[in-house]
Structure 1
Amino acid sequence: MPSLADLSERARTVFQQVVDEYLDSGVPVGSKYLAQLPGGLGLSPASIRSVLAELEAAGLLASPHTSAGRMPTDSGLRLFVDGMIEWSAPDAEERAAIEAQVRDVDTASAVAMERMTGALSGLASCAALVMVPTGEMTVKEVAFSMLSDTRALAILIGSDGTVENRVIEAAAPLDTARLTEAANYMNAHLSGLSLSDAVARLKTEVEGGNSALDSAARDVISRGLASWSTDERGRAVLIVRGQAHLIDDVAAIDLERVRQLLEDIDEKEQLLGVLDMARQARAMKIFIGSENKLYSLSGSSLIASPYQSGDGKLLGVVGVIGPTRLNYARIIPMVDYTAKTLSRLMR
């Protein structure tokens, strides 16, 4: 994909106009239409067609039909979002609408989460969602038991008395000594930590050279933590509001894509996995269309931002999902503001 520096000033101007018009209308944009816009581009329809062909050859625009206008590709939208967008922060009325949902609650309860998700959906005119952790398990004690040369049973006892058993496949042959070493290390260094904190502690100590564990014991611990952490994510609650916003006059033209998107939302486990990418990255994530295989058929975008507790611990993720023609300039700052509001509520 070309960068902005690879485009001429004329190509950048035409490209931005096409994207702006497409995001506003949801339909392909033609050269004649662009030439007649108020203020104009200072180019004839023939010159605009030439630039459009250049942008299409570069993979930034596409024409759904031979005689139709152009629309941005997923790569084109990524270039636009990363380098050309002009952010529009939520105004006072929008901020008040978000904050009003939690003004009368002391903590981020399920009711507060549902209210805020509903408000975000209405403001963004698309489906809004929030991932709420059900309470991450805290490590109390760990044990490993040999099953075969490369398989072991990992046993985790949580501080609440919960017992989780997982069969793990090791990368190299195992022996009882290595499993004992792995268990002793975890009980001495990771007991009392949440699973996510235990993963972070292990990574820090290994990368800092502070761990005396050999590679086999490290592999056993990493695989055990990864297995338990994956299941922890699966226990998170996903609240979704505003699916009806996904069906508008433009979307009705392509009902198959709308149906696919609604099915994507129903695949809660996969959607939680995508949201968890934002949580692990500790930053806002924007997935556009085919950039994520979950949305490759529905042609949708997901904007998600993590929220945290007062001590900086990552808790969950809030975001919106809708067609790729989202109003990114307005919605991205709105999702960011909602996440910050949730973080303030958790203090």
Structure 2
Amino acid sequence: MADMTGPNLSELSSRARDIFRLVVEGYIANGQPVGSKTLAGHGGINLSPASIRSVLQELQDAGLLAAPHTSAGRMPTEVGLRLFVDGIMQVAEPSAAERLQIERGLALGGTIEQALAAASSALSELSAGAGVVMVPHREVRLAQISFVPLAPRRALVVLVGEDGGIENRVIELAEPVLPQALEQAANYLTARLVGRTLAEAATGIASEIAGGRSALDTASADLVRRGLAVWSSDAAQRPVLVVRGQANLLDDAAVHDIERVRHLLEELESVEAIARVLDAAREAQATRIFIGSENRLLSLSGSAVIAAPWRDGEGRVVGVVGVIGPTRLNYARVVPMVDFTAQSLSKLIGQDGFSRT
């Protein structure tokens, strides 16, 4: 993480704080640096352009503002944005129309993936950024496992969850196996997996087999190993993110910052990279904000991520929802929308509002 140390808000004079706030809000509103003439025309600033320029220089010297070469105006640095977000920004509740748009998409029902896509689309439309939702880890607690023969060297593994969900996977076998071996492997796994997740039981099962303590014959032991392996591999290969609204990142302001946008779009193509950013918000109690080089993966694009965890009916974190975009995201507006979406997803999954297909 980059060093984001800057002055405390208490170190700024009242007029410096007011001018700093107006610069940040102006930059967030239109993506352009804010000049002294614009600030002088603001009704709440009773200073001459010369005095305002002096304050702007002080804020620049403090590392809170920067002056692009192509403009006489100022824009906030990442340090300045962090100070604004933590100390000045006034967060408002989402409007009734915004809440309705988010809830309408989630209320359509369907699979969990469809609900996540709806949440991501709503956030992208409302935020002018890209909506991103981390697909939850499907840590189902198991009730039963069985093996069904398909061919001499192929079998179907059937998992039945405590929630009634059923999932199937086909495994390839090294040698033909008898029905007795399939039954023995199924009974062995069911006895050790019932009421637990695969992740909770897999290590102990592998250790028991490796140590010769399983009382399984060679064929049944191979079935167990292959059954666990195919589920572990499948979980690792599942899509991690649902992303919507990349086109929002190519707005008018992006024309002047095309290299940054190119890096951002590349990051969005790298599922693992963005997933690592979102994963940093999994343990947060509330919405997290990552600005530019505060996170190594966002440093090249100079982007920002606003993310919040969402939970299942037992309060366990199962995923993260958020918005990614330029650092001039409207934080005051987007933060409560992300928080509301996370709460809505938690409520929906807690009510078992998803189908099993």
TM over 0.5: yes
Which residue does 1:76 correspond to in 2? 80
Which residue in the other structure is 2:294 paired with?
291
CA distance in structure 2 between the aligned counterparts of 1:71 and 1:197, rounded to whole angstroms: 53
- Contact 1:133–1:236 (CA<8 Å) still a contact in 2? no
Alignment counterpart, residue 48 of structure 1, candidates 30, 39, 52: 52
1:108·1:342 contact (CA, 8 Å) conserved in 2? no
**Pairwise CA distance, 1:323:** 0.3
| TM-aligned CA deviation for residue 33 of structure 1 | 1.6
Name the structure 1 match of 2:222: none
Question: RMSD of the TM alignment (CA)?
Answer: 3.1
Contact 2:286 2:339 in 1 (8 A): no
Corresponding residue for residue 313 of structure 1: 316
Alignment of 1:108-127 (within 5 A): 109-127=112-130
**TM-superposed deviation, 1:245:** 0.3
C-alpha distance after superposition, 1:191-231 (max 9, x if no partner):
93675999xxxxxxxxxxxxxxxxxxxxxxxxxxxxxx9x9
1:232/1:272 CA distance change after superposition, 3 Å: farther
Report runs of 4+ in structure 1 exceeding 6 Å deviation. Answer: 158-162, 231-234
Note the alpha carbon deviations across 1:134-159, whole angstroms, 9 max, x for none.
Answer: 413779xxxxxxxxxxxxxxxxxx99
**2:30 aligned with 1:25:** yes
**CA deviation string 1:175-195 (max 9, x = no partner):** xxxxxxxxxxxxx9xx93675
Structure 1 residues 114, 247: closer, same or farther in 2, change over 3 A?
Answer: same
Q: Which runs of 5+ in 1 are unaligned?
A: 140-157, 163-187, 199-228
Deviations 1:225-249 (A, max 9, x none): xxxx9x9677552000000000111
- 2:163 counterpart of 1:133: no
Compared CA separation, residues 341 and 67, structure 1 to 2 (3 A):
closer
For residues 205-224 of structure 1, what are the structure 2 equivalents within 5 Å? none
Please give the secondary structure, in 1, of the residue aligned with 2:274: helix
Identity of aligned residues (%): 54
TM-score by length of 1: 0.72
**Any idea what the Cα deviations from partners look like across 1:323-346, whole Å, max 9, x if unmatched?**
000111100000000111101101
Partner of 2:100: 96
1:108 CA drift (Å): 5.8
Q: Residue in 2 aligned with 1:8?
A: 13
- What is the DSSP-based 3-state SS (H/G/I as helix, E as strand, rest coil) of the residue aligned with 1:305? strand
Q: Classify 1:26/1:14 alpha carbon distance in 2 versus 1 (closer, same or farther; 3 Å).
A: same
Structure 2 counterpart of 1:16, one-letter code:
R
Q: In the TM superposition, what are the counterparts of 1:271-282 in structure 2 within 5 Å? A: 271-282=274-285
Query: 1:328 aligned to 2:331?
Result: yes
Deviation at 1:112?
Answer: 1.5
Correspondence 1:261-276 to 2 at 5 A = 261-276=264-279
User: How far, CA to CA, are the matches of 1:279 and 1:194 in structure 2?
Assistant: 21
After superposition, what is the alpha-carbon deviation per residue over 1:5-54, rounded to whole angstroms, capped at 9, x for unaligned?
111111101100111111111111111221122x1400111111111111
SS in 2 for 1:250: helix
1:340 aligned to 339, 343, 349, which one? 343
Equivalent residue of 1:279, what SS?
A: coil
Q: Secondary structure at the match of 1:104?
A: coil
Query: CA 1:277–1:77 in structure 2 vs 1: closer, same or farther (change >3 Å)?
Result: same
Give the partner amino acid of 1:116. A
Establish whether residue 300 from structure 1 lines up as the match of residue 280 from structure 2. no
Pairs aligned (count): 274
**Once structures 1 and 2 are overlaid, which stretch shifts more, 65-74 or 328-337?**
65-74
* Aligned-partner Cα distance in 1 for 2:250–2:294: 23
Bigger radius of gyration: 2
Amino acid at match of 1:10: R
How far, CA to CA, are the matches of 1:297 and 1:261 in structure 2?
A: 8
Instruction: After TM superposition, give the deviation of residue 306 of structure 1 in Å.
Output: 0.6
Which has the higher mean CA deviation after the structures are superposed, 291-300 or 325-334? 291-300
5+ long unaligned stretches in structure 2: 1-5, 143-158, 162-166, 170-191, 203-231, 352-357
Task: Give 1:183's aligned residue.
Answer: none
Does the CA-based 8 Å contact 2:33-2:71 persist in structure 1?
no
Q: CA deviation at 1:290?
A: 1.2
Output the amino acid matched with 1:268.
V
- The match for 1:222 is none
Contact 1:18 1:70 in 2 (8 A): yes
Cα displacement (A) at 1:68: 2.0
Residues of 1 paired with 2:81 and 2:290: CA distance?
A: 10
- Secondary structure at 1:320 match in 2: strand
**What does 1:138-217 align with in structure 2 at a 5 Å threshold?**
192=196, 195=199
Separation (CA, whole Å) in 2 of partners of 1:238 and 1:72: 30
Corresponding residue SS for 2:280 = helix
1:292-340 alpha-carbon deviations (Å, 9 max, x no partner): 1111121110001110111101110110000000111100000000111
Contact 1:279 1:314 in 2 (8 A): yes
Q: Give the Cα–Cα distance (whole angstroms) in 2 for the partners of residues 40 and 281 of structure 1.
A: 37
